A and B are shown apart, each in its own frame.
Chain A
Amino acid sequence: GAGVSQSPRYKVAKRGQDVALRCDPISGHVSLFWYQQALGQGPEFLTYFQNEAQLDKSGLPSDRFFAERPEGSVSTLKIQRTQQEDSAVYLCASSGHVGGYTFGSGTRLTVV
């Protein structure tokens, strides 16, 4: 597609529920990043893929967070047993070369 597509745009989850957030990167982009933006903060790095390999997951806040990109294109960020502190905008970005990043519109997750 022409841009990075994220779905759903908005998600309301009850505390304890599992959620899955999807990112469709630009076709052919090797690198894919997930960021979390909590209210009043800048986006914080979560994890990075190069093709299907997860090369850096140091930003994932707990073992309830899991990301995958099995075929090197679409990626899913899964959050198990959601907590209120998980409420944030989750941004996905893809890059085909060093220095150029294209972001999606994000998924706004609200945990109630």
Chain B
Amino acid sequence: ILNVEQSPQSLHVQEGDSTNFTCSFPSSNFYALHWYRWETAKSPEALFVMTLNGDEKKKGRISATLNTKEGYSYLYIKGSQPEDSATYLCAPLFGGNNRLAFGKGNQVVVIP
């Protein structure tokens, strides 16, 4: 069983504030890390696929970093907006295995 931890599990953010949360995973045999954004009743939307240690990716106001040696990734939301309210799922892939191992998600509620 692969232990993928996301924290905090739930957070409320005031509109305009920036926030960040963490995904930690086993560092051995790491292959890639996927971040998804999932709104209720919709499909999980792919945000980033990251592979290299030190990778940084950005999409609009959302960015992510990756540390494969210590097994963690941070997701940042700058200037949160109500439309950022969603669950953010982290899912690493490990070598020799093509199935994603999901964390429980970070549920973000942006308060107008």
* A residues lining the B interface (CB < 8 Å): 3-4, 9, 31, 33, 35, 40-45, 48, 56, 91, 93, 95, 98-106
Contacts and interface: CB of A to CB of B under 8 A. Distances in A.
Interface string B13-51: 000000000000000000010101000011110100100
Given A41-B104, A100-B46, 8 more contacts: A44-B102, A48-B99, A95-B98, A99-B34, A99-B49, A99-B93, A102-B43, A102-B46
B62 interface: no
Contacts of A43: 89, 100, 102
Contact of B32 (A4, A33, A99): A99
Contacts of A95: 98
B71 to A, nearest CB: 17
A42 B43 contact: no
Contacts of B34: 99, 101
Given A40-B104, A91-B44, A105-B42, A45 B99 contact: yes
